[in-house]
Amino acid sequence: MLLRIDVNSGETLYSQLSNQIKYGIARGYLVPGEDLPSVRGLASELGINMHTVSKAYAMLKEEGIIIINRSKGVKVSEEALISRDDDYGKIFDKKMTELIAEGLCNGYEKDQFMHKANQLFDEIGGK
């Protein structure tokens, strides 16, 4: 899977990486069990520091999305698409509430929100 980062996006590099990997899994570009590049390999490929990649991986590991083995490497968790963390519910609620509130302040009513969600799910290929 192709990963790209933009140093001028305002978003931190590790956050960009983390988000793109999540998107890749959601989209099916990355499948559970699949190996991910090594921290050194990916850092070299992207032209960034090893620790920046390591931090992105650590965050994904914290969410249970990837599995890190100290000597074997990194792979997508077999349960990457399965609900497992109850604490995530609150985080998800907060994020969605923020998106809804901000959307409403920009003229996105419920109908439009739902329509856009449908559209994006279709693009991603979610069930």
Partner DNA sequence: CAACTGTTATATTGTTATTATAACAGTTAG
Partner DNA sequence: CTAACTGTTATAATAACAATATAACAGTTG
Fill in the per-residue mask, 65 to 104: x = in contact with its own copies (CB under 8 A), - = not in contact.
Answer: x--------------xxxxxx--x---xx-xxxxxxxxxx
Amino acid of residue 45: E
CB of 14 to its own copies, least distance (A): 14
Please report whether residue 107 would count as binding its own copies according to CB under 8 A. Answer: yes
10 Å CB burial of residue 6 (0-12, 13-18, 19+) is exposed
Binding interface with DNA (CB under 7 A):
12-15, 36, 38-41, 47-52, 54-55, 57-58, 61, 68-74
User: In this structure, what token pair is assigned to residue 60?
Assistant: 């994904």
Q: What is the dihedral of CA 41, 75, 80, 60, to 10 degrees?
A: -40
Bridge partners for 35 per DSSP: 75
7 versus 96: smaller Cβ distance to its own copies: 96
Rg, C-alpha atoms of the chain: 16
CB of 92 to its own copies, least distance (A): 6
Q: Which of residues 12-41 bind its own copies (CB under 8 A)?
A: 19, 22-23, 25-27
CB of 89 to its own copies, least distance (A): 9
14 versus 65: smaller Cβ distance to DNA: 14
From residue 18, how far is each of 53, 57, 116 by CA, in Å? 9, 7, 23
